[in-house]
Amino acid sequence: MTSEMPKQLTTNNQPTRTAILDLGTNTFHLLIADIEKQHPFIVYQDTIDVKLGEGGISRGIISSQAFERGINAIKEFKDRIVHYDVSKVKSAATSAVRTASNGPEFITAIKNQTGLNLEIIDGEREAELIYFGVRAAVNLTSKALIVDIGGGSVEFIICDNSTIFWKHSYPIGAARMMEKFHQNDPITKHERDQLKQFLDETLSGLQDQLYLHAPDVLVGSAGSFETFAALQDPEFKPAFSRPEFNLDLNRFRKISEWIEESTHHERSQMHAIPTVRVDMIVVATMLTKYILTMREFKSFKLSTYSLKEGVLFEMLM
């Protein structure tokens, strides 16, 4: 998926043109922006479905095929970076890279083949950057729980506009949970029960924090939540200029029931579900439903801004 906009004109000094690379477990993202007078202007965006965790995430490695796909994606991004005459590059390699035994080897290969020196970040830093992105998209006037469901990890942040009260990254991303709990088509009741038991055991600390801080708003960050928005509203399209979307709790419950009962083929026929998410959307949906049972949230929102936008807006702080 590629998005390109005309170059923004400057009035005085030339803007700082920055490229941000987000190396996720499922997708790699490139965002190029001009920063002028503390305001970002998007020049170019691209997303490549790399599936870096495929075939290796449960074994703690990047498979040889995924390794090659990842290198090729970064080579494409490097061509764009050169084309747009970028002056600064920021990066964040997340769960699939940081937990793989050959993650450092992957970063070294990127350096050797493209000249780009990319950074592996830990889960707490990932959660912080997601917060910066979501805060720029959604007005967090009351306490909120931000949830970012990645392929390798899930980040939870309890916060408001000015403060992070608690944050944590759990290695329970959709790719990991799918490998463990979604082996049949459609997912069976036994698999659903196993997943629920796993979440009961894994997320007890989150339950304690929800009781302590009592957030009123649930905010889903990009990814699967954009798919929920597209299933709710066929006209929905993520846009940098419109980063907030209200998800209807009742509509979500109906959508989630359909997703849990659907087959791979049925989901693949839905234009609202991207190919990379056709199977992982099942466990992501079940996790979201589980979170909604942990507390009675007054509203449910989508932020189309996430980690890469968090990197961008942190630069403006």
CATH of the domain at 271: 3.30.420.150
pLDDT at 257: 97
- The verdict on 101 and 140 lying in the same domain is no
Give a yes or no: residue 165 inside a domain. yes
- The verdict on 115 and 145 lying in the same domain is no
Using one digit for the tens of pLDDT, what is the confidence trace for 265-291? Answer: 999 999 999 999 999 999 999 999 999
As a whole number of angstroms, the distance between CA 39 and CA 277 comes to 33
pLDDT at 258: 98
As a whole number of angstroms, the distance between CA 187 and CA 182 comes to 6
Distances (CA, A) of 156 to 20, 53, 62, 277, 285: 22, 21, 25, 21, 16
Domain endpoint, select from 121, 143, 159: 121
Give a yes or no: residue 200 inside a domain. yes
The token duo for 144 is 């909120």
Give a yes or no: residue 184 inside a domain. yes
Among 81, 77, 70, 67, which Cα is nearest to 27's? Answer: 70
pLDDT at 49: 95
Cβ-proximal residues to 223 (8 Å cutoff; 6+ apart), any chain: 148, 149, 150, 277, 284, 306
- The verdict on 96 and 147 lying in the same domain is no
3-state class percentages of the chain: helix first, strand second, coil last, to nearest 5 = 45, 25, 35
Instruction: Tell me: pLDDT of 8 over 70.
Output: no
Instruction: Tell me: pLDDT of 13 over 90.
Output: no
As a whole number of angstroms, the distance between CA 142 and CA 299 comes to 11
CATH of the domain at 85: 3.30.420.40
Residue span of the structural domain in which 27 resides: 2-121
DSSP state of 171: S
Using one digit for the tens of pLDDT, what is the confidence trace for 128-139? Answer: 999 999 999 999
Give a yes or no: residue 179 inside a domain. yes
Between the CA atoms of 108, 112, 116 and 120, what dihedral angle is there, to the nearest 10 degrees? 0
Instruction: Tell me: pLDDT of 5 over 60.
Output: no
pTM (two decimals): 0.94
Looking at the 3D structure of the chain, how many domains does it have? Answer: 2
pLDDT at 38: 84
Give a yes or no: residue 268 inside a domain. yes
Q: Please say whether the beta carbons of 110 and 104 come within 8 A.
A: no
Question: HSE of 284 in the Cβ direction (CA atoms, 13 Å)?
Answer: 30
Instruction: Tell me: pLDDT of 309 over 60.
Output: yes
Q: For the chain, give the mean pLDDT.
A: 94
pLDDT at 3: 52
- The verdict on 208 and 229 lying in the same domain is yes
- The verdict on 12 and 161 lying in the same domain is no
Cβ-proximal residues to 195 (8 Å cutoff; 6+ apart), any chain: 177, 180, 181, 283, 286
